[in-house]
A and B are shown apart, each in its own frame.
Chain A
Amino acid sequence: DGGITQSPKYLFRKEGQNVTLSCEQNLNHDAMYWYRQDPGQGLRLIYYSQIVNDFQKGDIAEGYSVSREKKESFPLTVTSAQKNPTAFYLCASSIGGGSLSEAFFGQGTRLTVV
């Protein structure tokens, strides 16, 4: 079945450590997105990529980094510079390429920093 896979579902890290969240899609979508979700704040865009080897900062990119070396993969690194990293992280993809359609979401990764 086609879809988006995020792993792991739950992740615990110590403060000061970098951590990488995985996002893989087999939908052949060009565009991919990372959102952060906090209670009462909805989804806030961290980074997005419209095509391989290119990505842009979203509204809250500070303390995060991404790469897009393959069409199927868009990993997110939460660095030690992110002041409040504990949150629910959602990866999404869409057809892209100028074709507007809905975004498809993964099941999310809940990151807890202790």
Chain B
Amino acid sequence: AQSVTQLGSHVSVSEGALVLLRCNYSSSVPPYLFWYVQYPNQGLQLLLKYTTGATLVKGINGFEAEFKKSETSFHLTKPSAHMSDAAEYFCAVTSTSGTYKYIFGTGTRLKVLA
């Protein structure tokens, strides 16, 4: 069975500091991995995705993530946090196992301090 673990339900960073949100997955088949962002009372918006190919994936708003198969990780980073990055972030996994379900982590709420 597939699963996603996001370490840290709340993360605080200073404006201009590095953002690092952690995601580890469990999958018996090659995974497809996603990061989404959610602002209050809104739906989820895709930040970036990994399917195949290059393991360093760049997304919108300056975010990027690196797929590390040996560590079963897909951590999200941004070199310099902006106030507008304050939101909740979700990591998700799906695969070619046949069910095509998207399994989400429990989310990490990012707070950016002025």
Binding site for B on A (CB under 8 A): 4, 6, 31, 33, 35, 40-43, 45, 48, 50, 56, 58, 88, 90, 92, 94, 96, 98, 100, 102-108, 110
* Contacts known (A106-B43, A108-B42); A58 close to B101, Cβ less than 8 A: yes
Q: Which of A35, A56, A104, A105 has the most CB of B within 10 A?
A: A105
- List 20 additional A-B contacts (Cβ < 8 Å) besides A33-B102, A105-B44: A6-B43, A40-B106, A40-B107, A41-B106, A42-B90, A42-B106, A43-B44, A43-B90, A45-B102, A50-B100, A58-B101, A90-B43, A90-B44, A100-B51, A100-B95, A103-B34, A104-B46, A105-B36, A105-B45, A108-B42
B107's nearest neighbour on chain A, judged by CB, is: A42
Are A45 and B43 neighbours in the complex by a CB distance under 8 Å? no
